Structure 1
Amino acid sequence: MNSVLYPIAAVTAWLACLYKARDLRRRRNLPLVAVVAAFVCLGGIFFIASPDVWVALDRAAHYPNLAILVSQGLVMPYTFCVLAACVLWRYPPHRARQLIRRSGLALTAVVVLMAVLFLAAPISAEDPTTYVPDNARQPYINAYLMVYIATYAVLQIVVVRITLQLARIGGRPWLRRGLRINAFGNLLALPYCAVRIADVAQRWVALDAGRFEDVARLAVGIGVLMPPIGWTIPRWGPRLSAAADWARAHRPYWRLYPLWDALTTAVPYVVLDTGDRASLLGGRRRPGRVALRAGYRLTRRYVEIRDARLELRPFLDPGVAAAAEQAGGRAGLAPDQLAAVVEAARLAAAMRAVALGITPERTALAPQRDARTGADPGGADAAAEIAWLVRVAAALVDSPVVASVLADTDPHGLQPTSRT
């Protein structure tokens, strides 16, 4: 698992580092510098812990398992950088500097103590996968692990507390989400700490802690993916919102297509200019403008459908509407479905009449109204009417009632157009 999960974690962290480092060209505030430095350390932790790199580093240093000291030693500056960024955002500058100074001195002492304990332990055979559970019974390694785990667990709890405080007072929605994602990633470190505590405890109790090793690796592997997401999502998260807006706008847009296509085939002159409208909305694409363009296209399609229906009003046969209502009633359609089926049948019959070159009698030129409500069918506003037209489009394509009414209706019931 280490040979796959750890390189992926390292590459993910360094990609996030490059992503955040771009902002340093515009602004070099201390929290941003701390976040970039944290990603550098995070990538280094998992890069060195990868089995192939572990072996290569040990052989270069001529000291077996030195990689674990380097890797776990980097955990302290990584956590320190994350803590520094949170503290700089959370507290006034003078208070933040005091906390950072104290934390830095304490973590430096921890790293020195870890190095002393590790180097004092007897040299063991190189083991890049199960070194900790296999050597946790050695007194010096046991003490090394206790120092490391206690410090690491406390730091994670402190970072989670400050991060959640920041999330409650954060202004932008994606900033708050990113902070909560970071907090979740820090919480995933606690199962790792629990497994390492089991490693320490096996010196005194009969416990096979090695069977939980995969839990520790999985918790850390998943947890390490959270900071790259959490620290970068305030930048690219709004694009997700824009994409969701685009999808919401285009869903009815595409669902209206069968109705729009049929109507504009019968009445092609209602179609507006189909040229590129990007110049009306700004040349450079931005997340908000993507949703604006999508809304424009939906509005244009809706208007063209309504214009085409107005042009077809003289062809809307009341007999077709009555037949469709009776057939829909026999089929047990709900009122909304029935209204859509009636409208679809009327429009389908009108479009067929236009295609056959049939013109209505002059007495049929009066506006057609809904037989049940006495009002023009549709919604109270544009959004409700678009939703209603979507149901009409679905009925036009799929409703067996519409198909049966068209099959039973004589298209030549109207007066033929005289042609020259």
Structure 2
Amino acid sequence: MNTPTIIACVLWLVTVWRLPSVRHSHKQRSLALTLAALAAAMTFEVPAVKNALNGSVGITGLPPLLKHLLGVTSAAFLLDFVIAVVRPQGLARRTRAAAIGATLPLMVAFYAAANWAPGGAVRVGEGGRAIYSVLYTAVFTLYIGVAMIVATWLFIGGVRHSRNLLGRIGLGLLGLGTLLGSLYALQRVGFVTAHLITGAEYHDLEDLFSTVLKQSAILSIALGVCVPPLSVAVEYARAWATLRRLLPLWQHLTEAAPHVVLSTSIAKRRVLLRLERCVIEIEDACLALREYVSADVHVRAREFVRQEGFDQDEIDAAAEACWLHEAARRAQNGQHLKGVEYPPLGVTGRDRVSEIAWLRTVAHTYLSSPAVVKFSRQEKTFMPHAQNGLERVTSDGK
């Protein structure tokens, strides 16, 4: 199997993979159409396809024209995609529409009028009609070059502002692909200019540069398209692992405070939404359960875990796990407290990322540390004395 065939197959696989995303948004639609146009363009480089098309229509120059038209179309869609990602407010929309609207018909007209030399569609012929082949090459390379330069500039800007590592890698690969596309256009201009000025032709060198730059650009763009979905998969896997770690804590706390559980069911495949709901319900359960213990329990829990030898950065989470465990036990016994100061919640004032990290630490201690159960046993012996003290304070207050 030759290289054009392999690249075309890879592009079609990526296109089919990304095809369902067409209905999601404008940028996803532009990306899918970019891939489809690139795949179709590379298909016309496959020898079997070229021979079949030439034999069926009897026009030997048709595959190169179709390939170039599709290449320009893919450049337009790719530029539209990067603008949608980096500049959602838009960028020169009317100018871009006018440029692609003029480029495609001009290419067809100049290609039909040109006197092409044997050896390929980019070989400038001789005589009066040679000017049309030059104009065709100029229009084609001008559009590709400008579009790729602008896209490269936008992709580089997107890399600088992206906060996601895989997102930066994907944008970087796309930017590399458009940069190579710019170099492809520049070398085309260079070889045609050299031929017009000196009459010298470097067919083998020109074909080498064109093939390497074109195929490298296409593969880089294809890889860049594949990387961002990997970040979604990584996020999904991370959310699934976090959900598995938090579900046992959720189960313990919601058994003690079942009224916080929402009645609406969520499909198992919607992991991100399930994780969000799990976190919210754990927080609501913590709010409900803190009414079964006083702030003194939290103070005793901190002192207890310190004596148990927890590291300094683990004390807060371990103390929270201890008083939550004790609160859940008291809630099941119906020992509700009023008129006392409740423990502070460790999730207060955190963003979502640090909040989830905090809950994972609390869950790990809650479920695996013997100190949590030991603290509850200690509180059982302390609680009767504490209740008597509260009763004496209430009587004195009256």
For normalisation by structure 2, the TM-score amounts to 0.56
Q: Are positions 1:51 and 2:43 aligned together?
A: no
Structure-2 separation of matches of 1:185 and 1:296: 41
Structure-2 separation of matches of 1:342 and 1:161: 57
Structure-1 separation of matches of 2:299 and 2:225: 63
State the one-letter code of the partner of 1:304. A
Instruction: Kindly provide the CA deviation profile for residues 322-375 of structure 1, in whole angstroms up to 9, marking residues without a partner as x.
Output: 3322233xx5423xx2121123234446667889x8x99x9x998577xxxxx6
How has the CA–CA distance of structure 1 residues 258 and 145 changed in structure 2, closer, same or farther, with 3 Å as cutoff? farther
Give the RMSD, CA atoms, in angstroms.
6.3
Structure-2 separation of matches of 1:408 and 1:313: 14
- Mark the runs of 5 or more structure 2 residues left unpaired by the alignment: 81-89, 156-160, 162-167, 385-398
Q: Are positions 1:262 and 2:252 aligned together?
A: yes
The 10-residue stretch of structure 1 (34-43 or 290-299) with the greater mean CA deviation from structure 2: 34-43
Q: Are positions 1:155 and 2:143 aligned together?
A: yes
Instruction: Kindly provide the CA deviation profile for residues 287-311 of structure 1, in whole angstroms up to 9, marking residues without a partner as x.
Output: xx99888655532231023323433
How has the CA–CA distance of structure 1 residues 219 and 348 changed in structure 2, closer, same or farther, with 3 Å as cutoff? same
Aligned counterpart, 1:282: none
Instruction: Kindly provide the CA deviation profile for residues 237-258 of structure 1, in whole angstroms up to 9, marking residues without a partner as x.
Output: 9xx99x97x9998887655433
How has the CA–CA distance of structure 1 residues 394 and 247 changed in structure 2, closer, same or farther, with 3 Å as cutoff? same
Structure-1 separation of matches of 2:325 and 2:175: 57
Matches within 5 A, 1:147-226: 150-160=138-148, 186-193=178-185, 215-222=212-219, 225=222
How has the CA–CA distance of structure 1 residues 313 and 260 changed in structure 2, closer, same or farther, with 3 Å as cutoff? farther
1:73: how far off?
A: 0.7
Aligned counterpart, 2:279: 298
Q: What is the aligned length? A: 344
Aligned counterpart, 1:170: none
Structure-1 separation of matches of 2:366 and 2:147: 58
Instruction: Kindly provide the CA deviation profile for residues 149-186 of structure 1, in whole angstroms up to 9, marking residues without a partner as x.
Output: 6543321123346768999xxxxx9xxx9999988754
Aligned counterpart, 2:381: 413
Instruction: Kindly provide the CA deviation profile for residues 218-246 of structure 1, in whole angstroms up to 9, marking residues without a partner as x.
Output: 324336649999xxx9xxx9xx99x97x9
Aligned counterpart, 1:28: none
Matches within 5 A, 1:11-30: none
Structure-2 separation of matches of 1:81 and 1:206: 26
Structure-2 separation of matches of 1:256 and 1:393: 6
Structure-1 separation of matches of 2:92 and 2:113: 30
Aligned counterpart, 1:395: 365
Matches within 5 A, 1:363-378: 367=340, 376-378=344-346
Matches within 5 A, 1:98-177: 103-104=103-104, 106-112=106-112, 116-118=115-117, 121=118, 150-160=138-148
Aligned counterpart, 2:389: none
Aligned counterpart, 2:387: none
State the one-letter code of the partner of 1:158. V
Instruction: Kindly provide the CA deviation profile for residues 83-123 of structure 1, in whole angstroms up to 9, marking residues without a partner as x.
Output: 88889983669x966x6675456423431255x314xx27x
How has the CA–CA distance of structure 1 residues 59 and 183 changed in structure 2, closer, same or farther, with 3 Å as cutoff? same
Instruction: Kindly provide the CA deviation profile for residues 255-293 of structure 1, in whole angstroms up to 9, marking residues without a partner as x.
Output: 54333323344x2x5344553267xxxxxx9xxx99888
Structure-1 separation of matches of 2:347 and 2:264: 30
Aligned counterpart, 1:339: 316
Instruction: Kindly provide the CA deviation profile for residues 28-61 of structure 1, in whole angstroms up to 9, marking residues without a partner as x.
Output: xxxxxx9999887655422222233234335546
* Preserved contact between residue 260 and residue 301 of structure 1 (Cα < 8 Å): yes
* Preserved contact between residue 289 and residue 327 of structure 2 (Cα < 8 Å): no
Aligned counterpart, 1:7: 9
Identity across matched positions, percent: 19
Structure-1 separation of matches of 2:208 and 2:148: 28
How has the CA–CA distance of structure 1 residues 165 and 258 changed in structure 2, closer, same or farther, with 3 Å as cutoff? same
